[in-house]
């Protein structure tokens, strides 16, 4: 077969060849995209977090931690100190200029400091809880209430307001907006 006949045969089959090559390109791009977004190390099973005691948490302090995908300083501090409030200590020990920006694979030094407890200090002349403590499992919102103040009265800790929000998510779309006479469920342990 001569060159002219070969070129003529290819010209006739050009749409078929283009379709086949296009399919290979799409397949290759699809595989690359899937591999790019696949998280290494995920096996599809959920493993419970390791339980450590306060003594173990303190003994882990002063070690190195490699930042994993999706981690932030609060979560790392909770892991080592059982308190997210120690994120400031980790940021200072590592001279982080922007604590919100952690690079995956970066190695952080975990300083040997005691775990911090959350505290709420009331200004002089005021009490941390305004109003009577809430002992019931339900509460009717009054004018001026906020989830924080309700959590302080119900649990003695304003940082527990997300528990109230989660229990009432169907009726509270925005945790900053609650209305008088709105009935809330207060989860108790």
Tell me: the pLDDT tens digits for 41-59? Answer: 555 555 555 554 544 544 4
Radius of gyration of the chain (CA): 29
Contact by Cβ (8 Å): 29, 37:
no
Give pLDDT tens digits for 61-111: 468 999 998 888 988 988 888 888 888 889 999 988 888 888 899 999 999
Chain centroid, CA 118 distance in Å: 20
Count of domains observed in the chain = 2
The verdict on residue 123 lying in a domain is: no
170 against 130, higher pLDDT: 170
Could you list the residue range(s) of the whole structural domain that residue 70 is in?
54-109
Mean pLDDT of all residues in 117-130: 51
pLDDT at residue 54 in the model: 46
Residue 9 three-state SS: helix
pLDDT at residue 80 in the model: 87
Give pLDDT tens digits for 133-144: 898 999 999 998
C-alpha span between 137 and 130 (Å, rounded): 19
The verdict on residue 90 lying in a domain is: yes
The verdict on residue 16 lying in a domain is: no
Give pLDDT tens digits for 150-163: 999 998 888 999 99
The verdict on residue 146 lying in a domain is: yes
pLDDT at residue 168 in the model: 94
Which of 89, 109, 129 is the last residue in one of the domains?
Answer: 109
pLDDT at residue 6 in the model: 79
pLDDT at residue 128 in the model: 41
* CATH number of the domain that residue 98 is part of: 3.10.350.10
């Amino acid at each position: 077969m001569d060159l002219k006949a070969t070129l003529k045969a290819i010209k006739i089959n050009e749409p078929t060849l283009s379709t086949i090559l296009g399919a290979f390109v799409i397949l290759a791009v699809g595989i690359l995209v899937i591999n790019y977004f696949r998280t290494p190390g995920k096996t599809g099973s959920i493993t419970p977090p390791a339980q450590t005691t306060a003594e173990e948490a303190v003994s882990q302090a002063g070690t190195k931690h490699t930042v994993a995908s999706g981690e932030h300083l609060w979560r790392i501090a909770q892991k080592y100190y059982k308190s997210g409030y120690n994120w400031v200590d980790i940021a200072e020990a590592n001279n982080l200029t922007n604590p919100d920006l952690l690079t995956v694979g970066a190695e952080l030094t975990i300083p040997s400091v005691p775990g911090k407890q959350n505290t709420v200090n009331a200004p002089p002349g005021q009490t941390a809880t305004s109003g009577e403590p809430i002992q019931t499992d339900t509460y009717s919102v009054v004018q001026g209430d906020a989830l924080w103040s309700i959590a302080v009265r119900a649990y003695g800790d304003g940082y527990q307001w997300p528990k109230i929000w989660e229990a009432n998510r169907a009726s509270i779309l925005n945790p900053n907006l609650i209305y008088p006479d709105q009935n809330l469920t207060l989860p108790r342990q």
